Chain A
């Protein structure tokens, strides 16, 4: 890769970032006056909070697009402008590293008002080495890095046998002092070289942390062995690396002229990256204490369990959530014994495997010193959906593979295929990102003499046949997967989104701006959008820079076939495609949330590789490298601020955990599990415990006696199916199914497979289609004995009854609908097509006292069961003001009349409440089972808490029936 971006482009990038911030604020204030437009009954965060997520996304794409356009215009201007032959001053590696370090230190200080001791000490050493032993600056830095890990390894070793405690800072200082001493003595003695060699010996000792088998439980020390397979892997790495480094030491000890790259052993780099990647993640331990949340572990292993152990067909009898990514950890868990308590070991093995592949591939592209620096600066984030991206790109980047176009094309097809199966969104991102280069390779291959020769050989067709056959055989699966993905992507914006503009600041965010929150809040919103846009701009700039260095058409064609061209559009497209989901999912109190993971992969890895190749060519690279690194540090994607350098002697089992043994539940294993089961509540609304899970197991076993092939859909944590070893039909839990299309997909598979469906009626409005199906269909009957919905055939088989029980007994009533009816009501015109209006004849009685207006409707003919399930109201009050003045609340779109509840009641105690807002309400009466399944002769509407000076009038009222999701 040649130098293609000058430092002067930094100005443009900075201007764009600043302009982007201003543009975001302006666009948002201008556009956010309109509420979200709904086209389907998707009730989730956007509806509940009455926010407008589309505006946020549109703002982002608009400003990003404008930025890209400006960069292209600037490129065209440069192209047609007379070129001045100005050669930029080449910076020395030493200067470039110093600039990067200072940028990182300043960047980190701005964000957190703290310093990075490791970088600061390294900078001091670098400056000292430059003064005392010029030419050995890199040796000094490498010795410092290795020493830190060596000291850490020694402490882990001691701690494994005798409990000790040591601060991370102490390790920094110790390694600093020893390196300092070596720098001072280096002129007289050849000491740094030896130090580098010796320091690599104990580097794998921290793997002892993963072999700890002692647990302090209720004051008693217990010993529980690690799963055999995991222990074998950890021991193999620990001993293998140590033996290799010892051999390396003996071989290199006397080679005084050995280069720095020759002094560094590859296993040391691999070990550092693996350790950082595992320990930098949330659950960086391989103990037998399960993760408290029973949902996510289930999500990460379920496809393997359902497809390979329960014999289900993906996207036919069983719908995986999104791609088959959970097959990998599920497979590793099976290797670890196939029980839940071994989940963390499987997770660590997963991190280990992908981090090993990634850093090994990186080391094939960079020198050992650069690879070591890489492993010290970034880590592989634990978001398992993106684990394949980096590995795929690095494989496709191999120069020898690129030269063999025939082979590259086959590998490319296979990797994109695997990427798509693993996680469709990122598979598509990789496919699109590498498509420009792939097309170049394809055309290049067709034109080559190789193709003309090879097409005459039988082996050419055989190998292409072998490559394409599995893909062709998987076409039905791919089609089903595509259909499912499209169904879910249709609901994503409104079902998965969390608004950024309603969020509080993360704790300690930009303290440098002082105690006043406003400016920090503005910066938070801007950064939330400008960083992702900035990443796209950066890659656009680099891509344009690549082309600007072309002098002829032939030159362009040659550039298109370079690894640089593979990386740049890949970075650009992967960011853009991945943002379509990650920008929506803006989890609370996290600067970039899931977007941060994709930025880490693309900017933290692809960009770093580009930087390493161009480091000393222009100041642009060290400065942007510093900025990118500062951002990665804030995202927790760099080991430079890692808190978790573990020293594990034994594990303390939390007090809310209980000991379980193999056989307590089918796949629970031996270890410790949280007593409380998240997402599950008993009929009385109490949180589930492990005892309830045992009861659930007994229930399932009783039902399985009637039909051993029975599958289950339980509203609850996904790990439940694994622990109880049950078949299920759908990985997306009912809570994730929102739109009509997704509901239809679910109902379709339910009609076909006839699973037992758990009582789930906690949030009926959010799953109205499914709730309505279950309540009104004859396919299912509620069984109070088992507290589940049973397929009618099974129900009759068990009870011998023909008449079902009263289904409403299953419902926990949640009749306060909050802002959701107002959100939907604002979109009544676009939602209208989903409803059928039911004309009702009635007489109205109106009553207005000081603060309450009430209306009673007496129907001439009673409303029949399931005849009307929604009510549209237009209430006019001449009250129109914002009752909260803070900027954040102003941005929560339309707080007008949010303090006024509208209550619709019928019969005795039955009622539903919604907040009035702007007065247009779409109230789901059917959410209350008693309304849905009974007939009604009257209805009362009460508007409370409105001061006497304001008028109240119901301008419009329509009785509606939602068109059902039926499935085939």
Chain B
């Protein structure tokens, strides 16, 4: 509750910080915010060429199958990767001014989330063009997005605070994210994984999030609510743990930086 009250008190700072992160990302580039569209599109193009034609993945309407999972993953990936440098990059302000440090990871996740929302336009347009359309199950999309936001925030809290003490983590996370990408059914279907490994795969929260996106947008059906319900609890528990780790670590940020 104290955090919420502090965040409310410093809401203007939070807004400015989010705005800075959001606008600063493509500030000096020629295409600016358009990169929010171009980036995932190019990435998509690569995967859409490699997997069906080179890797011979047999999935109907593979581009759509990929797009509904890849864009949410990009949000998660960029959030987690950037989170490692969030606190370090703001060392100047941390040393000089008091403000709730939690604002930094929150603004990182939120600005990436806004970017993701813009990228979602690609998904909507693609769904309409491909003829899949948008079904009533779209009402669950905000819930899944919210869950992903909470999960990303939880990871961000943990990584951003620990990286201050263990700087090598920043580089390790990049490799880890690559592994995580392949452990999540983004370019392939869950059913392609042998049955005996499924339970292990299910321990990965992103499996359920990506599956939920795919159910809602690609298969046009309600996601598995039991799985999402459990994930909801896990995400909030992780957030609680993440914040506590962050809270413990933040006391010595100024010294370490």
Contacts and interface: CB of A to CB of B under 8 A. Distances in A.
Interface in A318-351: 331, 334-335, 337-338
Nearest to B216: A308
B136 A334 contact: no
B226 interface: yes
B50 interface: no
Interface centre among A309, A334, A337 (most CB of B within 10 A): A334
A307 B136 CA distance: 7
A175 to B, nearest CB: 33
Nearest to B136: A307
A903 to B, nearest CB: 52
B207 to A, nearest CB: 19
B226 A335 contact: yes
Nearest to A308: B222
A314 B226 contact: no
A313 B136 contact: yes
A453 to B, nearest CB: 16
B226 A308 contact: no
B229 A308 contact: no
Interface in A288-308: 304, 307-308
A232 B220 CA distance: 29
Contacts of A308: 136-137, 140, 221-222
Nearest to A477: B136
A290 B225 CA distance: 22
Nearest to A310: B221
A229 interface: yes
A725 B203 CA distance: 29
Nearest to A333: B225
A311 interface: yes
Interface string B138-163: 00100000000000000000000000
Interface in A382-438: none
A526 B220 CA distance: 53
A309 B222 contact: yes
B226 A311 contact: no
B135 interface: yes
A308 B220 CA distance: 8
A335 B225 contact: yes
B225 A331 contact: yes
Contacts of B222: 304, 308-309, 334
Q: How large is the interface on B (under 10, 10 to 19, 20 to 34, 35 or more residues)?
A: 10 to 19
Interface string B16-30: 000000000000000
Majority SS at the chain B contact face: helix
B225 A311 contact: no
A419 to B, nearest CB: 16
B226 A337 contact: yes
A308 B135 CA distance: 9
A302 B65 CA distance: 29
A314 B225 contact: no
A304 B136 CA distance: 10
Contacts of B137: 307-308, 311
A74 B155 CA distance: 67
Nearest to B133: A313
Contacts of B220: 311
Interface in B218-248: 220-222, 225-226, 229, 233
Contacts of A337: 226
Interface centre among A308, A334, A338 (most CB of B within 10 A): A308
A706 B222 CA distance: 26
B248 to A, nearest CB: 22
A622 B86 CA distance: 61
B136 A229 contact: no
Contact of B225 (A232, A307, A313, A334): A334
Contacts of A311: 135, 137, 220-221
A70 B133 CA distance: 57
Interface string A705-717: 0000000000000
B136 A314 contact: yes
A228 B226 CA distance: 9
Contacts of A314: 136
A309 B220 CA distance: 9
Contacts of A309: 221-222
Nearest to B134: A473
Contacts of B221: 308-309, 311
Contacts of A232: 233
Contacts of A338: 225-226
A334 B221 CA distance: 13
A337 B221 CA distance: 16
A313 B233 CA distance: 31
Interface string A225-246: 0001100100000000000000
Contacts of B225: 331, 334-335, 338
A331 B225 CA distance: 8
Nearest to A332: B225
A422 to B, nearest CB: 13
A313 B221 CA distance: 11
A229 B135 contact: no
A311 B221 CA distance: 6
Interface in B179-222: 220-222
A459 to B, nearest CB: 10
A716 B226 CA distance: 30
Nearest to B228: A335
Contacts of A229: 226, 229
A314 B139 CA distance: 13
B127 to A, nearest CB: 13
Contacts of B135: 311, 313
Contacts of A307: 136-137
B111 to A, nearest CB: 15
Contacts of B233: 232
A304 B229 CA distance: 17
B138 to A, nearest CB: 9
Nearest to A229: B229
B136 A335 contact: no
A337 B226 CA distance: 7
B118 to A, nearest CB: 12
A729 to B, nearest CB: 16
A669 B229 CA distance: 19
A232 B229 CA distance: 11
A437 to B, nearest CB: 27
A229 B224 CA distance: 13
A644 B233 CA distance: 33
B107 to A, nearest CB: 17
A229 B135 CA distance: 27
A335 B222 CA distance: 12
Nearest to B223: A308
A391 B78 CA distance: 39
A308 B137 CA distance: 6
Contacts of B229: 229, 335
Contacts of A334: 222, 225-226
Nearest to A307: B136
A309 B225 CA distance: 11
A309 B140 CA distance: 12
A504 to B, nearest CB: 45
Contacts of B140: 308
A313 B220 CA distance: 11
A314 B226 CA distance: 24
Interface string A578-614: 0000000000000000000000000000000000000
B13 to A, nearest CB: 17
Nearest to B140: A308
Closest 5 CB pairs of A and B: A308-B222, A334-B225, A307-B136, A335-B225, A335-B229
Given A229-B229, A307-B136, A308-B221, 6 more contacts: A229-B226, A308-B137, A309-B222, A313-B136, A334-B226, A335-B225
19 contacts: A228-B226, A229-B229, A232-B233, A304-B222, A307-B137, A308-B136, A308-B221, A308-B222, A311-B135, A311-B137, A311-B220, A311-B221, A313-B135, A331-B225, A335-B225, A335-B226, A335-B229, A337-B226, A338-B225
Interface of A: 228-229, 232, 304, 307-309, 311, 313-314, 331, 334-335, 337-338
